[in-house]
Structure 1
Amino acid sequence: MNNIAVVYQSHYGTTKKYAEWIAQALDADLLNRKKVSVSELSQYGMIIYGGGLYAGGLLGIDLVSKSKFKHLVVFTVGLADPKIMDYSEIMAKAFPNQAYQHDQVYHFRGGINYQKLTFLHRGLMTLLKKTVEKKSDSEISAEGKAILETYGKKIDFTYKEMISPLTSYVKEVLV
Structure 2
Amino acid sequence: MDTKNKVAVIYKSKYGSTKKYAGWIAIKLDADLYELSDVINSNLQDYETIIYGSSLHAGKIKGLNFITKNYDKIKDKNIIIFTVGLSKCNNKTIEKIADDNFNEEVLNNIRLFYLKGAFDYKNLTIIDKIMMKGLKKSLENKSYNELEEGDKKFLRDFYSPMDFTNKKSVTPIVELVSSFEV
Q: Distance in 2 between matches of 1:155 and 1:85?
A: 23
Q: Pick from 49, 52, 55: which aligns with 2:52? A: 49
CA contact (8 A) 2:12 2:36 kept: yes
Which residues of 2 match residues 1-175 of structure 1 at below 5 A?
3-66=6-69, 67-68=71-72, 69=74, 70-83=77-90, 86-96=93-103, 98-101=104-107, 102-136=109-143, 147-175=154-182
* C-alpha distance in structure 1 between counterparts of 2:40 and 2:152, whole Å: 37
Q: Distance in 1 between matches of 2:80 and 2:137?
A: 35
Q: Classify the secondary structure of the residue corresponding to 1:50.
A: strand
Secondary structure of the corresponding residue to residue 106 of structure 2:
coil
Query: Displacement of 1:141 after TM fit?
Result: 8.0
Matches of 1:171 and 1:95, distance apart in 2 = 25
Pair 95,75 (structure 1): closer, same or farther in 2 beyond 3 Å: same
Aligned to 1:82, the other structure's residue is in SS state: coil
- Give the secondary-structure state (helix, strand or coil) at the position aligned to 2:23: helix
CA drift of 1:108 comes to: 1.1
- Structure 1 length-normalised TM: 0.85
Question: 1:54-99 deviations in whole A, cap 9, x for unaligned?
Answer: 2111111121134142110111111123147522122122212x22
Give how far 1:127 is off.
2.0
Aligned residues: 174
- Percent identity (aligned): 35
Alpha carbons of structure 1 residues 75 and 150: separation in structure 2 relative to 1, 3 Å: farther
Over 3 Å counting, the alpha-carbon distance change for 1:116 and 1:59 in structure 2 is: same
Judged with a 3 Å threshold, the aligned counterparts in structure 2 of structure 1 residues 46 and 112 are, in CA distance, closer, same or farther, namely same
Q: Give the Å deviation of 1:149.
A: 4.9
Q: Note the aligned Cα RMSD (angstroms).
A: 2.6
Gap runs ≥5 in structure 2: none
Q: Distance in 2 between matches of 1:43 and 1:95?
A: 25
Are 1:62 and 1:94, in contact at CA under 8 Å, matched by a contact in 2? no
Instruction: Give the C-alpha shift of residue 18 in structure 1.
Output: 0.2
Name which one, 1 or 2, has greater alpha-carbon Rg: 2
Give the distance between the partners of 2:153 and 2:45, measured in 1 at CA: 37
Return 5+ residue gaps in structure 1 as ranges: none
Q: In structure 2, what is the Cα distance between the partners aligned to 1:109 and 1:76?
A: 8
Higher share in helix: 2
Query: Structure 1 residues 145 and 59, CA, compared in 2 at 3 Å: closer, same or farther?
Result: farther
